[in-house]
Chains A and B, each alone.
Chain A
Amino acid sequence: MAPLIRLEGLTKRFGETVAADDVTLDILEGELFGLLGASGSGKTTLLRLLGGFETPTAGRVLIDGVDVTALPPYERPTNMVFQSYALFPHMTVAANIAFGLKQARMPKPEADARVEEVMELVKLTELGKRKPSELSGGQRQRVALARALVLRPKVLLLDEPLSALDKKLREHTQFELMRLQRELGITFVIVTHDQDEAMAMCSRIAVMDMGKVIETGTPRAIYERPQCRFVADFIGGANIIDAEPVGPSRVRLPALGVECAVTDSLPAKGWVALRPERISLSHDAPAGGPWPAGQVEAVAFHGDFQLYRVRMDGGVELRVAASNVPGDPKPGERAFLSWPADAPVALSR
């Protein structure tokens, strides 16, 4: 299936800074695609290049096979939900939503019907006559959504849609967005710095750093089989440990003084990613050893789990997320670390 969106060699320079560095990316129709990265990683720039708010220094943007690189925002089949929502303060909610329809010179009865329809979709009925200043943050976001959706774009762009909302509303909105996307079948491209959000919502994620796309894949693939240390660390904060191959699917971890199995093979010296929640702690040496040991330095209570920082005998510090550890290790005590055979992921870069 040909991708709906294709970014080809997209580069954007602002003076000396390279905000997007030769990015090539395909997004398929119907995806809920996430651009994930820290601030300054280039994700917002990419979104804006897609929407037509920036012109690339090099490269092309193709939507549905058409080269839209030279087209301004009002000629592209995309619509954007801005981070600040950008609601027109001097217009009512209904007027805001109808704005695009008015620009397209849609006859009033038809436009009114469409506005009604979309307001029902995002559950905004009854608020039509209010002004943005009279709405809550969540309501304003729904207006911004409605305003974009009423135009039935091929692609909906969302810039950090959940960052301004409080925790409870965030969860609710997450599901709402996923539901909307499913029902309407529109391709969504979301920019976010929150990995939990990206993994929960998106069908595919592109992890970005310094203007480049580091890795693309489904949330599960990226989480369970990261291709590089950056992604392993960025997503879920895995422990990155130096490793040497000692055989097929087996490595030696010099800093810990043990050998263990790995998923896939490590062709040369590299690393192993070990997620904190897959490591077990115990006072006594577990079976199937030898297992490394160290001194518990700190314990942080996180509600559904405890986060342990353990200084291993080899000097390296590992993080362990566990709950109800028998013996309840405290700072100062020694403990053994162990993990299942499929936990370590081999990384060659």
Chain B
Amino acid sequence: MSAATARRRGVLALPWIWLGLFVAAPFVIVLAISLSSAGYGSPPIDFFIGWQNGHPTFNINLDSFELLASDQLYIRGFLNSIAIAGLTTLLCLLVGYPMAYVMARAPARLQPLLVMLVILPFWTSSLIRVYAWIGILKENGLLNGLLLHLGLISQPLVILNTPIAVQIGMVYAYLPFLVLPLYATLQKLDWTLLEAAADLGAKPWSAFFRVTLPLSWPGTLAGALLVFVPASGEYLIPELLGSSTLPMISTVLWTEFFGNRDWPMASLIAVMLLLVLAIPLLFLRGGQATAGRV
């Protein structure tokens, strides 16, 4: 039925072209640039493929690769990002799971309101919210003001521009990303299973660990990934709340690109970010999908 095929091609045409041009092509280009050398022109790149006398010439430059592997800055940057993202995920789980659980067990008529209250901050400007934390955490900020006023401390605490501030900001920003999918999973749970467990002699905590937790695992995993992956690539929060002593990899990329005008290096970092984070994620999602979840 070629009329049907023609129709399908018509529907797919625009998306394919757009995605091919603006998602696939950029990826290939980033890869290509990472193999190129930094130059002096505008843009500051000597492409790794050139054209001279009618045939292509190759000038693959692996300096960036060498530098990446050897210079502590990059390795530390990656490790920092992963560590902070990991800690963020953990803290979000500790704070977010109880929240999602209570929301899922709340009376049905309250639930939409509770969900809306979690979504609301997400819709307001993320920049403004990070900015708000500056006002709260700085030396003459709200938090210190409150603590000094209550007499709990005698000297203002230095929180801003430290890893702690970054951590607080990250947990704050990513909490909804964990609570919402987890809530969605918990809400679909068959609560009569807990009644069955109780009937069979399980005390509340035991029932939680042996019934609720395992059943909510897919949602927990989904939420954790939804936090971990974007968090490792986060730029704004470490930039505004952190310091240059503990750079995250996105900040490193930013500096390489805007500060050092080393586009190939920045591209290489982007590629590594992709490989280290996104690809395992896609595999996991694919695995989850075949397992019948999500």
Instruction: A343 to B4: give the CA distance in the assembly, Å.
Output: 55
Q: Is B150's beta carbon under 8 Å from chain A?
A: no
Q: Which residues of B contact A72 (CB under 8 A)?
A: 1, 3-4
Whole-angstrom distance from the CB of A49 to the nearest CB of chain B?
13
Instruction: A70 to B4: give the CA distance in the assembly, Å.
Output: 11
Q: Scan B1-15; emit 1 where CB is below 8 A from any A CB, else 0.
A: 101100000000000
Closest to A55 in B: B1
Whole-angstrom distance from the CB of A226 to the nearest CB of chain B?
39
Q: Which residues of A contact B1 (CB under 8 A)?
A: 55, 70, 72
Whole-angstrom distance from the CB of B1 to the nearest CB of chain A?
6
Q: Which residues of A contact B3 (CB under 8 A)?
A: 72
Q: How many residues of B contact A (CB 8 A)?
A: 3
Instruction: A303 to B114: give the CA distance in the assembly, Å.
Output: 55
Whole-angstrom distance from the CB of B132 to the nearest CB of chain A?
43
- Name A29-63 residues within 8 Å CB distance of B: 55
Q: Is the interface of A mostly helix, strand, loop or mixed?
A: loop
Whole-angstrom distance from the CB of B3 to the nearest CB of chain A?
8
Whole-angstrom distance from the CB of A52 to the nearest CB of chain B?
10
Instruction: A70 to B3: give the CA distance in the assembly, Å.
Output: 10
Whole-angstrom distance from the CB of A305 to the nearest CB of chain B?
40
Instruction: A329 to B4: give the CA distance in the assembly, Å.
Output: 66
| A-B pairs with beta carbons under 8 A, tally | 5
- Name B1-33 residues within 8 Å CB distance of A: 1, 3-4
Q: Which residues of B contact A55 (CB under 8 A)?
A: 1
Instruction: A70 to B1: give the CA distance in the assembly, Å.
Output: 7
Closest to A70 in B: B1
Whole-angstrom distance from the CB of B201 to the nearest CB of chain A?
38
- Name B22-51 residues within 8 Å CB distance of A: none
Q: Which residues of B contact A70 (CB under 8 A)?
A: 1
Instruction: A70 to B2: give the CA distance in the assembly, Å.
Output: 10
Instruction: A246 to B4: give the CA distance in the assembly, Å.
Output: 62
Whole-angstrom distance from the CB of A30 to the nearest CB of chain B?
31
Instruction: A339 to B167: give the CA distance in the assembly, Å.
Output: 87
Whole-angstrom distance from the CB of A73 to the nearest CB of chain B?
12
Instruction: A72 to B3: give the CA distance in the assembly, Å.
Output: 10
Whole-angstrom distance from the CB of B68 to the nearest CB of chain A?
46
Closest to B1 in A: A55
Whole-angstrom distance from the CB of A155 to the nearest CB of chain B?
21
- Name A138-175 residues within 8 Å CB distance of B: none
Closest to B3 in A: A72
Closest to B4 in A: A72
Q: Which residues of A contact B4 (CB under 8 A)?
A: 72
Whole-angstrom distance from the CB of A306 to the nearest CB of chain B?
39
Instruction: A72 to B4: give the CA distance in the assembly, Å.
Output: 9
- Name A262-319 residues within 8 Å CB distance of B: none
Instruction: A55 to B4: give the CA distance in the assembly, Å.
Output: 11
Whole-angstrom distance from the CB of A59 to the nearest CB of chain B?
15
Whole-angstrom distance from the CB of B2 to the nearest CB of chain A?
10
Instruction: A120 to B196: give the CA distance in the assembly, Å.
Output: 53
Whole-angstrom distance from the CB of B42 to the nearest CB of chain A?
55
Whole-angstrom distance from the CB of A14 to the nearest CB of chain B?
16
Whole-angstrom distance from the CB of A249 to the nearest CB of chain B?
54
Q: Scan A59-77; emit 1 where CB is below 8 A from any B CB, else 0.
A: 0000000000010100000
Q: Scan B160-204; emit 1 where CB is below 8 A from any A CB, else 0.
A: 000000000000000000000000000000000000000000000
Instruction: A307 to B4: give the CA distance in the assembly, Å.
Output: 55
Instruction: A55 to B3: give the CA distance in the assembly, Å.
Output: 13
Instruction: A56 to B54: give the CA distance in the assembly, Å.
Output: 54
Closest to A71 in B: B1
Closest to B2 in A: A70
Whole-angstrom distance from the CB of A160 to the nearest CB of chain B?
27
Whole-angstrom distance from the CB of A246 to the nearest CB of chain B?
58
Whole-angstrom distance from the CB of B5 to the nearest CB of chain A?
12
Whole-angstrom distance from the CB of B24 to the nearest CB of chain A?
29
Q: Scan A69-100; emit 1 where CB is below 8 A from any B CB, else 0.
A: 01010000000000000000000000000000
Q: Scan B226-265; emit 1 where CB is below 8 A from any A CB, else 0.
A: 0000000000000000000000000000000000000000
Q: Scan A215-234; emit 1 where CB is below 8 A from any B CB, else 0.
A: 00000000000000000000
Q: Scan B139-168; emit 1 where CB is below 8 A from any A CB, else 0.
A: 000000000000000000000000000000
Whole-angstrom distance from the CB of A259 to the nearest CB of chain B?
58
Whole-angstrom distance from the CB of A330 to the nearest CB of chain B?
39
Instruction: A334 to B4: give the CA distance in the assembly, Å.
Output: 68
Instruction: A72 to B5: give the CA distance in the assembly, Å.
Output: 13
> What 5 A-B pairs have minimum CB-CB distances, sorted nearest first?
A55-B1, A70-B1, A72-B1, A72-B4, A72-B3
**Please, could you name 5 A-B residue pairs with CB atoms under 8 Å apart, sorted by A?**
A55-B1, A70-B1, A72-B1, A72-B3, A72-B4
